[in-house]
Amino acid sequence: MWNSIGNNFTITSFGESHGKCVGIIIDGCPAGLPITDHDIQIELDKRKPGVSSLATSRTEADKVEILSGIFNGCTTGAPICLLIWNRDIKSSEYEKKRFMLRPGHADFTAFMKYGGFNDFRGGGRFSGRITATFVMAGAVAKKLLGLIGIEVIAHTIAIGDIKVETRQVEEIRENVEKNPVKCADTGAAEGMIKAIEQAKKEGDSLGGIIEGLVLNVPTGLGEPVFDTLEGNLAKALFAIPAVKGVEFGAGFRVAEKKGSDNNDSFIIRENSVVTATNNAGGILGGISTGMPIVVRVAVKPTPSITKNQNTVNINSMEEVSLTVKGRHDPCIVPRAVPVVESMIAVILCDFAIGAGLIPRVIK
């Protein structure tokens, strides 16, 4: 099940960047959830390119079409198939350069793995475009989580060398959709925008860091020893092309901390046990503590740059020089924010259904 993830709320992705469509099947969604294509479209639009000078000027329509599993405005309990028909596709450039391995892309590994049979156009199955299908699944997952009060928010905390401290949830919620870099710190957002524009001018690209938060998590989600919250979230997040690191709570900073500093003291607040700090990122023993889940992912700079690069023609086996044309995002981070949010929502939903927190029929 290479293209599926989830035990109870299972999503199966299909489609290629320049094929007919990209789509997702959701198996295990409870019956009776009211949901329309509009609900899904709202989430999809958050990932839309072309909204600013920072993103690709391609005009992907990206309109969701519901093929199955939703009837009379509600989920039926049957598999939900959500589709986006591909449009505005120009494959000629890819045909011309099909044997020129684009550095940082999956051209080489796909060619080797599939013996050259892979659909190479626009990266095919390895395109960032596939993540649009994750967002559609995330839209359904977020609706389900909303029923039990769980909220997922993602936001940009670094682009290039501009970093921000995590803000209060209220501030994040308010600001994240207000600027094109999806940063809660509006001042830093300005700097990020400038940095991206500068990289674009140089024919280069920038990476960054996205933080995901899950709020109002019930205590007890996650399964030791292998189906941990961290493990399943990480697996889902590494499905996003360009993600090269995932950390929880204090993350890599734990290496430099002492136990006395890293341990979160338990205290009692409003008759509940909580922790005074949250270095654990809301997870102990692979199980949610009830504190906010905090996860951060490192996103690499867009591999498609207009600067000249050295590479290999895999057909002629010659070292060559390559200039990638096309309309590419100089920084993929802002568009990856809703994708990170979606994958987190899918995994949380999977655990919540498994734990019986979301019923099989919603009334």
Q: What is the DSSP string of 90-129?
A: --HHHHHTTTBPPTTSSHHHHHHHHTT-S--GGGGGGSGG
Query: What is the nearest approach in angstroms of a second copy to the Cβ of residue 117?
Result: 4
| Cβ contacts of 114-119, under 8 Å, gap ≥ 24 | 119/16, 119/17, 119/18, 119/19
Q: 173 or 207: whose CB is closer to a second copy?
A: 207
Query: What is the nearest approach in angstroms of a second copy to the Cβ of residue 184?
Result: 17
Q: 173 or 209: whose CB is closer to a second copy?
A: 209
Question: How many Å apart are CA 120 and CA 130, to the nearest integer?
Answer: 14
DSSP state of 183: B
Rg (CA), the chain: 21
Q: 174 or 273: whose CB is closer to a second copy?
A: 273
Query: What is the nearest approach in angstroms of a second copy to the Cβ of residue 175?
Result: 20
Query: What is the nearest approach in angstroms of a second copy to the Cβ of residue 170?
Result: 26
Answer whether 138's CB lies under 8 Å from 345's CB: yes
Q: 257 or 327: whose CB is closer to a second copy?
A: 257
Query: What is the nearest approach in angstroms of a second copy to the Cβ of residue 201?
Result: 12
Burial of 335: CB neighbours in 10 Å, binned 0-12, 13-18, 19+: buried
Q: 174 or 216: whose CB is closer to a second copy?
A: 216
Structure tokens at 240: 């996003």
Closest CA to 322 of 203, 164, 201, 165: 203
Query: What is the nearest approach in angstroms of a second copy to the Cβ of residue 254?
Result: 4
**Amino acid, single-letter form, for residue 346:** V
Q: 42 or 273: whose CB is closer to a second copy?
A: 273
104-118 burial, b at 16+ Cβ within 10 Å, e below that, comes to: bbbbeebbeeeeeeb
Question: How many Å apart are CA 7 and CA 256, to the nearest integer?
Answer: 36
Q: 170 or 319: whose CB is closer to a second copy?
A: 319
Q: Strand 80-85 and strand 64-68: pairing?
A: antiparallel
288 forms beta bridges with: 283
Query: What is the nearest approach in angstroms of a second copy to the Cβ of residue 58?
Result: 18
Structure tokens at 166: 């995590």
Q: 146 or 203: whose CB is closer to a second copy?
A: 203
Query: What is the nearest approach in angstroms of a second copy to the Cβ of residue 228?
Result: 6
Query: What is the nearest approach in angstroms of a second copy to the Cβ of residue 93?
Result: 17
Structure tokens at 230: 């961290």
Question: How many Å apart are CA 47 and CA 130, to the nearest integer?
Answer: 12
Q: 170 or 265: whose CB is closer to a second copy?
A: 265
